[in-house]
Amino acid sequence: MKHILIFLLLAGTVSAQSKREKKVVFVIADGIPADVIEKVATPNIDKIIAQGTYTRMHVGGGKNTYSETPTISAVGYNSLLTGTWVNKHNVPDNDIREPNYHYHNIFRLFKEAYPKKQTAVYSSWEDNRTKLALAEYVDLHADGYELDTANFHHDKQRDFMHNIDEKVISEAVAGIKKSGPSLSWVYLEYTDDMGHMHGDSPEFYRAVSLMDAQMGKLWEAIQYRQQHFAEDWMIVITTDHGRDEKKGRDHGGQSARERGTWMVTSYKPLNSYAKYYEPGIVDIMPTIARYLNVNIPDSVAREVDGTPLIGKVAIAQVAADLIQGNIDVKWKALEDAGNVKIYVTTTNNYKTGGKDEYKLLKEVPVKQEHALVDVKALNEAKDPFYKIVLETPANTVNLWVK
Ligand SMILES: [Zn+2]
């Protein structure tokens, strides 16, 4: 009897929780290295960390590998949106000439899963919505102020950029309070401008303080929704790249500080993958998808370079080496049970909108942490190319061997 009662109580709690709708706000505050966000006083962000998590993170892809990615703004935004590095998303700079939209972004994945739910972009750069998130997947927006030189006169000190960020924040706060979109992206630029103009300096640190105050306003809007509506919100605040070690004015390269970013979230606890490995910006997309219960179609999931930072993860840190017709695959096991299915294809048709025929070549226990996969029958080419997918019930990881 006692057991039944406890069961009923638990079931009641679960159903009460699941009636609360989950919503996400993610923020990119441009160009703030990890050491700077850690050094400057950020009382508002600290409040979010107090109930959630702060972690260091990296951008830049796999250094000296096929996925190495410039530490440049739009490149980072698109890694965040698609969960892939530049070898896939194809935004190598801020011109955003030919993004490869076959790697679906979180707005598209969300709207395809929940066509009736609302999305929003509040941004100090219009291209973020029109070229990256894509307007057709964004219901509400406030952006384009950088093109309005009458109201935001482009002064030399670039104070107008702070004014634009303020406008973006006031629109985001109003939009969240009034409409409570399920998925919002807030993008703020002033910190990067001050970094470029002044490097590591009081001006740059002041910009970080101003951004912190803006996060306080956003957090308040989220609290308001949580108090007045049956909603649970996750906020994720991150940056798109670090800055150079010497002066802090530049970025784009692969130095530790340029690659060294961070993430703040109101969510806790992050999973053992986030705890034991250094997450990358590509991990945020699958994390948001998991929080919002967005089912990522298999074909898309097999291309995602990130690993969710919440919920169950079975394998991480996958590496592979081609040895005389065999691929030697290794990984770290984060679960004791379950199997890894190892799929291999020699094509990359996905890149151009086609389909890859994966062959299941091996299935071994997760805890084995390695497998030797015979691929001699697959490829006779002089320049072999293999896309490998490791699938477990908890998470899927992919990598290329060339
Ligand atoms: Zn940037």
Q: Tell me, in angstroms, the distance from the centre of ligand 1 to residue 181's CA.
A: 25
Structural domain contains residue 4: no
Same domain membership, residue 206 and residue 124: yes
Q: Tell me, in angstroms, the distance from the centre of ligand 1 to residue 136's CA.
A: 25
Structural domain contains residue 2: no
Structural domain contains residue 88: yes
Residues in the chain: 402
Structural domain contains residue 230: yes
Q: Tell me, in angstroms, the distance from the centre of ligand 1 to residue 217's CA.
A: 22
Same domain membership, residue 212 and residue 78: yes
Q: Tell me, in angstroms, the distance from the centre of ligand 1 to residue 399's CA.
A: 27
Same domain membership, residue 289 and residue 346: no
Same domain membership, residue 325 and residue 272: no
Report the C-alpha gap between 243 and 251 in whole angstroms. Answer: 5
Q: Tell me, in angstroms, the distance from the centre of ligand 1 to residue 30's CA.
A: 5
At 17, the pLDDT band (50, 70, 90 cuts) reads low
201-211 pLDDT per residue, tens: 999 999 999 99
Q: Tell me, in angstroms, the distance from the centre of ligand 1 to residue 220's CA.
A: 26
Q: Among residues 244, 268, 301, which one ends one of the domains?
A: 301
pLDDT exceeds cutoff 50 at 12 = no
Neighbours of 247 (CB within 10 A): 12
Same domain membership, residue 362 and residue 257: no
Same domain membership, residue 65 and residue 127: yes
155-203 pLDDT per residue, tens: 999 999 999 999 999 999 999 999 999 999 999 999 999 999 999 999 9
Same domain membership, residue 388 and residue 245: no
Report the C-alpha gap between 67 and 198 in whole angstroms. Answer: 31
Q: Among residues 249, 267, 301, which one ends one of the domains?
A: 301
Q: Tell me, in angstroms, the distance from the centre of ligand 1 to residue 38's CA.
A: 18
Average pLDDT, rounded, for the chain: 95
Task: Quote the strand ranges of 73-167, DSSP E.
Answer: 119-123, 140-142
Same domain membership, residue 259 and residue 176: yes
Q: Tell me, in angstroms, the distance from the centre of ligand 1 to residue 31's CA.
A: 5
Q: Tell me, in angstroms, the distance from the centre of ligand 1 to residue 72's CA.
A: 6
Same domain membership, residue 350 and residue 292: no
Same domain membership, residue 351 and residue 236: no
Find all residues with CB under 8 Å of 179, minimum gap 6, and list them: 118, 120, 140
Q: Tell me, in angstroms, the distance from the centre of ligand 1 to residue 228's CA.
A: 35
Report yes or no: 134 and 109 within 8 Å, Cβ to Cβ: no
pLDDT exceeds cutoff 80 at 8 = no
Q: Tell me, in angstroms, the distance from the centre of ligand 1 to residue 230's CA.
A: 35
Q: Tell me, in angstroms, the distance from the centre of ligand 1 to residue 308's CA.
A: 24
pLDDT exceeds cutoff 80 at 5 = no
Q: Which domain holds residue 290?
A: 20-301
Structural domain contains residue 63: yes
Q: Tell me, in angstroms, the distance from the centre of ligand 1 to residue 194's CA.
A: 11
**What CATH number does residue 156 fall under?**
3.40.720.10
At 65, the pLDDT band (50, 70, 90 cuts) reads very high
Same domain membership, residue 339 and residue 289: no
Q: Tell me, in angstroms, the distance from the centre of ligand 1 to residue 218's CA.
A: 21
Q: Among residues 267, 301, 335, which one ends one of the domains?
A: 301
Among candidates 78, 137, 133, 81, which has minimal Cα distance to 113? 137
Least confident of 70-74, 223-227, 358-362, 383-387: 383-387
At 42, the pLDDT band (50, 70, 90 cuts) reads very high
Largest CA distance in the chain: 74
Structural domain contains residue 3: no
| Number of domains the chain contains | 2
Structural domain contains residue 218: yes
**What CATH number does residue 340 fall under?**
2.60.40.10
69-111 pLDDT per residue, tens: 999 999 999 999 999 999 999 999 999 999 999 999 999 999 9
Report yes or no: 315 and 395 within 8 Å, Cβ to Cβ: yes
Q: Tell me, in angstroms, the distance from the centre of ligand 1 to residue 51's CA.
A: 28
Same domain membership, residue 362 and residue 264: no
Burial of 210 (0-12, 13-18, 19+ CB in 10 A): middle
Structural domain contains residue 15: no
Report the C-alpha gap between 306 and 313 in whole angstroms. Answer: 12
pLDDT for 174: 98
Q: Calculate the alpha carbon distances from 400 to 225, 302, 314, 346, 388 in Å.
A: 43, 12, 20, 10, 6
348-362 pLDDT per residue, tens: 999 999 999 999 999
Report the C-alpha gap between 386 and 401 in whole angstroms. Answer: 5
Q: Tell me, in angstroms, the distance from the centre of ligand 1 to residue 141's CA.
A: 21
